């Protein structure tokens, strides 16, 4: 499994590149699902993975498709390793760790767009520059989508259109991405012709 | 909902009208002739088309820095209603407060200078007294002290100013939309776009990226100087004189697009023109972007023969991607059919002004 190919469709879409090891005082590595492979690929590129891991805090949760590579990452022997069951369960710990992270820290995000986006938002809120954050998209392409009408966010959207998990409207996924919200925009598909909803197709897997 | 201002003064000029419900919004004959008709030729394609925002023809919407017209009071009442329904329409990230004060100063000084009968500003050091007679506001406050205003500075002054506003912070070689208020927007969301960079918030616009429009416009705007504002037009179509065509409420107003007939089209279909002006702000170095919306029904526009001929040709020949993005592709054939009756095929003179009477 390699970097998930993303069609360069829109300008607000995040750019993902393979993770590269960089010098730093603290290495915060956050991954879900197949993102674990991106982490081990990154470590294979440095001649001194042991030194990087000796100052690394690794946080991981299974992907939305069930991929769970916890044991592979735990076995790496990072200074600190944490396994969360889901992204929402991972974020409070990340936010606490960020309070003590100093300039010179390196951030490695790998896995689904939902994981990368939410972790990036938390990091940027603390004032770290975007240049300290690397992201690599691996695994599932399901999307995190904000309903523009009720503002609720539906996780792991696979089909287009889909039903908002908060207000129940049928939404199409607009190719418009907010880094602040770490979400794509969902817009009511039958607003002009209520009830006229085309059949859902699986667009994100 | 209760208003925190008291309209009523100068009501021989300011119209009492609505942009919702019974839609009593109309343009007076005088106001139709000063409508900023955006087409200077018989066809339309994107262009950066920026020009200096300097005082223009007497009586036109370019005469003053911030045009105040007969719809001012009614628009401010409509804005107060929208914000009461959805406070997320006005947001400012914490580092944008200074830019908000810059904007407040720019608007107060401009309006007091350009419309002394309606607005006045007295300064005693940082103690300022602002009088807005059409809205019945007489308020003393301390400049740069937020605690002396009932809202943040951007929200305070834009609740008294026609047009949506965004404030752009400049860093990393681009512009970031880090504050904004939108209650008369053409289908974009402040809540979703706030915090985005220039290219991110323009992402959904078709064709223009590939044409290099946004790269060129950004390059131009990064050089924008304090005291040398610029302006351009944008336009779209709206059914009913509905100012607040927000994506948030699209399920409520979307069905009106299916209500057009050849009989009601002239009254219901409106050309929606945005006069966009951009100002570099002095303290924050941010850029203020004013998106001022003007609405005119097709019936009103047909009273100017040159515009009648030209609107037909533009709507008929527009690129389908643009008609789709602007949201009128489903009604385009009906509009062309209706407009064709007002186009006698005669040539039109260059430029957007109506023919001289």
In chain A, domain spans: 26-137, 143-202
The pLDDT score that the predictor gives to residue A180 is 87
**Which one-letter DSSP state was computed for residue B57?**
S
- Mean pLDDT, range B53-73, rounded to an integer: 95
| Cβ pair B275, B292 in contact under 8 A | yes
The pLDDT score that the predictor gives to residue A13 is 65
Given CB atoms, is A148 within the 8 Å cutoff of chain B? yes
Q: What percent of chain B has pLDDT over 70?
A: 99
- Mean pLDDT, range A107-125, rounded to an integer: 93
The pLDDT score that the predictor gives to residue A14 is 67
Q: How confident is the model at residue A6 (pLDDT cuts 50, 70, 90)?
A: low
Is the predicted pLDDT of residue A10 greater than 80, yes or no?
no
Number of Cβ within 10 Å of residue A9's Cβ equals 9
Is the predicted pLDDT of residue B340 greater than 70, yes or no?
yes
The first and second tokens of residue B110, run together, are: 């401009």
Are the Cβ atoms of B209 and A11 closer than 8 angstroms? yes
Averaged pLDDT score across all residues of chain B: 94
Helix (H, G, I), strand (E, B) or coil at B10: strand
Q: Which of A11, A180, A187 sits opposite B195 (nearest CB)?
A: A180
Residues of A in contact with B255 (CB under 8 A): 191-194
Helix (H, G, I), strand (E, B) or coil at A157: strand
Is the predicted pLDDT of residue B89 greater than 80, yes or no?
yes
The pLDDT score that the predictor gives to residue B186 is 77
Helix (H, G, I), strand (E, B) or coil at B207: coil
Given CB atoms, is B173 within the 8 Å cutoff of chain A? no
Q: Which of B194, B204, B214 sits opposite A176 (nearest CB)?
A: B204
Given CB atoms, is A171 within the 8 Å cutoff of chain B? no
Are the Cβ atoms of B258 and A192 closer than 8 angstroms? yes
Is the predicted pLDDT of residue A60 greater than 70, yes or no?
yes
Residues of A in contact with B211 (CB under 8 A): none
Are the Cβ atoms of A12 and B255 closer than 8 angstroms? no
Averaged pLDDT score across all residues of chain A: 91
| Cβ pair A6, A13 in contact under 8 A | yes
Q: What percent of chain A has pLDDT over 90?
A: 77
Q: How confident is the model at residue B187 (pLDDT cuts 50, 70, 90)?
A: confident
Q: Taking the mean position of all CA atoms in its chain, how far away is CA A16?
A: 11
* Mean pLDDT lowest among A6-15, A102-111, B94-103: A6-15
Q: Cα(B26)–Cα(B60) distance, rounded to whole angstroms?
A: 18
Are the Cβ atoms of B251 and A10 closer than 8 angstroms? no
Q: How confident is the model at residue B357 (pLDDT cuts 50, 70, 90)?
A: very low
- Mean pLDDT, range B144-148, rounded to an integer: 97
Q: Burial, B249: exposed, middle or buried (Cβ in 10 Å; 0-12, 13-18, 19+)?
A: middle
Q: Which residue has the tokens 């470590």?
A: A43
Enzyme catalytic residues of B? 232
Are the Cβ atoms of B88 and A180 closer than 8 angstroms? no
Q: Cα(B202)–Cα(B220) distance, rounded to whole angstroms?
A: 16
Residues in CB range of B234: below 8 A, 6 or more apart: B38, B186, B273, B274, B276, B291
Of A180, A186, A138, A177, nearest to A159 (Cα)?
A186
DSSP string covering B125-172? TTEEEEEETTTTEEEEEETT-GGGSSS-HHHHHHTTSSSEEEEEEEET
Helix (H, G, I), strand (E, B) or coil at A172: strand
* Mean pLDDT lowest among A10-14, B196-200, B260-264, B336-340: A10-14
Q: Which residues of B92-106 are buried (b: 16+ CB within 10 A; e: fewer)?
A: bbeebbbbbbbbbbb
Please give, rounded to a whole number of angstroms, the shortest distance from the CA of A173 to a CA of chain B: 12
**Which one-letter DSSP state was computed for residue A180?**
T
Is the predicted pLDDT of residue B9 greater than 90, yes or no?
no
* Mean pLDDT lowest among A14-18, B91-95, B234-238, B294-298: A14-18
Q: Outline where DSSP puts E strands in chain B.
A: 51-52, 90-92, 119-124, 127-132, 137-142, 164-171, 174-181, 196-197, 230-239, 269-280, 287-297
Residues of B in contact with A171 (CB under 8 A): none
Top residue of B89, B93, B180, B189 to mutate, by most chain A CBs within 10 Å, is B189
The answer as to CATH 3.50.50.60 being correct for domain A26-137 is: no
User: Which pairing describes strands B90-92 and B174-181: parallel, antiparallel, or unpaired?
Assistant: antiparallel
Between the alpha carbon of residue B35 and those of residues A152, B108, B198, the distances in Å are 40, 24, 29
Given CB atoms, is A205 within the 8 Å cutoff of chain B? no
The pLDDT score that the predictor gives to residue B356 is 60
Q: Does the model's ipTM exceed the 0.95 cut?
A: no
Is the predicted pLDDT of residue B161 greater than 90, yes or no?
yes
Q: How confident is the model at residue A1 (pLDDT cuts 50, 70, 90)?
A: very low
The pLDDT score that the predictor gives to residue A11 is 60
Query: What would the pLDDT profile of B164-173 be if each residue is shown by its tens digit?
Result: 999 999 998 9
Q: Given CA atoms A122, A125, A127, A131 in this order, what sign does their dihedral have?
A: positive
| Cβ pair A144, A121 in contact under 8 A | no
Q: Which residue has the tokens 């918030």?
A: B201
- Mean pLDDT, range A21-31, rounded to an integer: 95
Number of Cβ within 10 Å of residue A100's Cβ equals 8
- Mean pLDDT, range B132-154, rounded to an integer: 97
Helix (H, G, I), strand (E, B) or coil at B90: strand
Q: Taking the mean position of all CA atoms in its chain, how far away is CA B224?
A: 20
The first and second tokens of residue A154, run together, are: 């539906």
Nearest CA in chain B to A174: B204
């Amino acid at each position: 499994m390699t970097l998930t190919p993303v069609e360069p469709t829109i300008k607000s879409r995040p750019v993902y590149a393979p993770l590269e090891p960089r010098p730093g005082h603290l290495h915060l590595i956050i991954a879900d699902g197949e993102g674990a492979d991106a982490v081990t690929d990154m470590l294979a590129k440095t001649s001194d993975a042991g030194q990087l891991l000796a100052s690394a805090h690794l946080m991981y949760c299974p992907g939305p498709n069930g991929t769970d590579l916890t044991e592979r990452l735990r076995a790496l022997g990072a200074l600190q390793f944490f396994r969360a069951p889901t992204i929402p369960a991972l974020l409070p710990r990340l936010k606490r760790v960020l309070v003590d992270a100093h300039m010179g820290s390196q951030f490695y995000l790998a896995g689904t767009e939902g994981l990368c986006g939410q972790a990036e938002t938390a990091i940027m809120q603390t004032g770290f520059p975007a240049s300290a954050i690397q992201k690599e998209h691996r695994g599932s392409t399901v999307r995190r989508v904000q309903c523009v009408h009720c503002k609720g966010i539906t996780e792991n959207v696979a089909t287009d259109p889909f039903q908002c998990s908060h207000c129940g409207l049928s939404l199409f996924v607009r190719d418009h991405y907010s880094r602040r919200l770490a979400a794509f925009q969902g817009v009511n598909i039958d607003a002009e012709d209520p009830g006229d909803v085309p059949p859902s197709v699986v667009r994100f897997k | 909902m209760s208003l925190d201002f008291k309209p009523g003064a100068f009501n021989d000029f300011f119209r009492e009208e609505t942009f919702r419900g019974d839609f009593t919004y109309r343009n007076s004959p005088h106001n139709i002739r000063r409508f900023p008709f955006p087409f200077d030729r018989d066809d339309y394609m994107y262009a950066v088309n920026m020009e200096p925002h300097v005082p223009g023809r007497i009586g036109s919407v370019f005469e003053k820095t911030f045009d105040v017209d007969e719809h001012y009071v009614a628009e401010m009442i409509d804005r107060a209603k929208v914000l009461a329904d959805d406070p997320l329409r006005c947001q400012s990230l914490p580092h944008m407060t200074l830019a908000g004060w810059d904007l407040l100063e720019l608007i107060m000084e401009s309006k007091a200078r350009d419309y002394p009968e309606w607005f006045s500003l007295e300064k005693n050091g940082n103690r300022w007294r602002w009088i807005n007679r059409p809205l019945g506001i007489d308020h003393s406050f301390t400049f740069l002290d937020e605690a002396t205003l009932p809202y943040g500075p951007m929200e305070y002054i834009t609740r008294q100013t026609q047009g949506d506003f965004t404030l752009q912070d400049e860093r990393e070689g681009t512009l970031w939309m880090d504050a904004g208020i939108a209650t008369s927007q053409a289908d974009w969301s402040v809540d979703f776009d706030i915090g985005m960079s220039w290219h991110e918030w323009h992402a959904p616009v078709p064709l223009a990226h590939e044409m290099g429009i946004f790269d060129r416009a950004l390059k131009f705007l990064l050089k924008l100087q304090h005291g040398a504002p610029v302006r351009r037009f944008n336009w779209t179509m709206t059914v009913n004189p509905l100012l607040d065509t927000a994506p948030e409420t699209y399920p409520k107003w979307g069905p009106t697009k299916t209500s057009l007939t050849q009989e009601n089209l002239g009254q219901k279909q409106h050309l929606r023109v945005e006069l966009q002006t951009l100002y570099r702000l002095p303290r924050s170095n941010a850029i203020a972007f004013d998106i001022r919306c003007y609405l005119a029904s097709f019936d009103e526009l047909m009273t100017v023969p040159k515009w009648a001929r030209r609107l037909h040709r533009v709507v008929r020949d527009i690129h389908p991607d643009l008609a789709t993005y602007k949201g009128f592709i489903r009604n385009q054939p009906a509009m062309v059919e209706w407009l064709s009756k007002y186009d006698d095929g005669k040539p039109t003179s260059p430029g957007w002004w109506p023919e001289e009477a």
